[in-house]
Structure 1
């Protein structure tokens, strides 16, 4: 594995229902091993999800083996990922700024202390 890493920051919303939010969080305490394996095989080094109310923020650290198009194609062809995504969609909804047909969307960086 290469030492070069890159970060992706994404957002998605949850359905505003306390029981659904609690179940979503429970399911993420230990994701399916097939899902974790798939993410790692695609070059995802680290993934974290944070929640504020119904808004989710994902931080993905990827190595140079990660390619978003290849990841999307591999995910679409993996039955475990398709079942996981169908399950997750029971709890999730697009943000008001999400293009039709998409889920997690990239956030725009507007500040970096390193650049100051």
Structure 2
């Protein structure tokens, strides 16, 4: 079994059905700017999935074992087009245009794991 760290995060979108549908299109296969995916991989993010219910997002982020979340998010913010991407998607999110991904996506606490 491959070893990795898993992080779960949440973010709230603006409660507007048109904006929510547009946000889904922005995240459709092939729609994410290639620099964004490349930057995430460079900081140690191995895989990421985002789920939605209403206007609530839930992210599962799998990373390398020695992943340092704070350092990686700091480094990610400096990657090419990252701040441009965050400003672009902020129009869908309950957040400010200049917020970083780390400021937007809140880490969740795991309270249960099936044995």
TM-score by length of 1: 0.83
Match of 1:90 in 2: 91
Q: 2:49·2:59 contact (CA, 8 Å) conserved in 1?
A: yes
Match of 1:98 in 2: none
Cα displacement (A) at 1:4? 2.6
Structure 2: runs of 5+ lacking an equivalent: 96-101
Please identify runs of 4+ aligned residues in structure 1 that moved more than 6 A.
none
Determine helix, strand or coil for the equivalent of 2:7: strand
- Partners of 2:79 and 2:38 in 1: CA distance: 11
Kindly tell me the number of residue pairs found equivalent between the two proteins: 106
Q: 1:42·1:65 contact (CA, 8 Å) conserved in 2?
A: no
Match of 1:105 in 2: 106
- Deviations along 1:48-98, one digit per CA (max 9) or x if unpaired, are 00000010000000013532222222223224000001111111116xxxx
Structure 1: runs of 5+ lacking an equivalent: 95-100
The answer as to 2:59 corresponding to 1:58 is yes
TM-score by length of 2: 0.84
Of structures 1 and 2, the larger Rg is shown by 1
